[in-house]
Structure 1
């Protein structure tokens, strides 16, 4: 058996409309024509928004995150700031965070990726190929 890739990632959300405004309006994903809680992108990125059924889902755990590959981190920072989100960089242990408040700020802290929390607190990481820790250690050598 050979796996071809990840088909989708599920994200728990408390307010579907608010989550869709973030994933569609900010990140540029497109709702599926028949299932509006499935959001996709022409590069194969697929996110399934699932209604949070109980309080206390542990979104604060940095191990629980989704990483999205992007062409340029600078474009992500500009887009997030434009929509009122404060992206940040983190060290490898996720113990120290550096907020990014300007597009002029260097993106050279920690592991060299960008993080943001969606409106429900889900942690999203943005990774640029061959940059930061992924420039040193390619996670997809296959």
Structure 2
């Protein structure tokens, strides 16, 4: 039996902290747990609560290098969020000017999903669960 209990958090480095903070808090609806300015690093750290108890951490750093390509760059491919229904979230994103790809069906599970991007172009997925 593995001693791992699950994912505690996922950390993202953003190019424009205020824009990303607005996207994840106001548009996606995540709750701020803590926010700290780290003066020695000229950096912000924002802890966001996910409904299942996990966290998303946003970091800002001066002049972070861009992601090399989308989505098949080495490293994190995408971040997927569970939703009960795709359409309400797609409508919410569209109202904010965030485009979603056409809905697809997972060939192995039969579940529906779509992709969209955060302000830095990070691929995000909405995965419908029943």
One fold, TM greater than 0.5? yes
Runs of 4+ more than 4 Å apart: none
| Structure 1: stretches of 5+ with no match in the other structure | 90-106, 131-142
> Is 1:55 matched with 2:59?
no
Distance 2:46 2:80 in 1: 19
| Structure 2: stretches of 5+ with no match in the other structure | 37-44, 107-111
Deviates more, 1:112-121 or 1:43-52: 43-52
Confirm or deny: 8 A CA contact 1:11 1:122 kept in the other structure. Answer: no
SS of structure 2 residue aligned to 1:88: coil
Deviates more, 1:74-83 or 1:43-52: 43-52
Shift of 1:110: 5.1
Residue deviations 1:36-81, cap 9 Å, x none?
6111133224111122543233352246211111111111111111
SS of structure 1 residue aligned to 2:7: coil
- The structure with the greater share of residues assigned to strand is 2
Change (3 A) 1:17 1:42: same
Question: What count of residue pairs does the alignment treat as equivalent?
Answer: 112
TM-score, reference length from structure 2? 0.74
Measured on the aligned residues, the alpha-carbon RMSD in Å equals 2.1
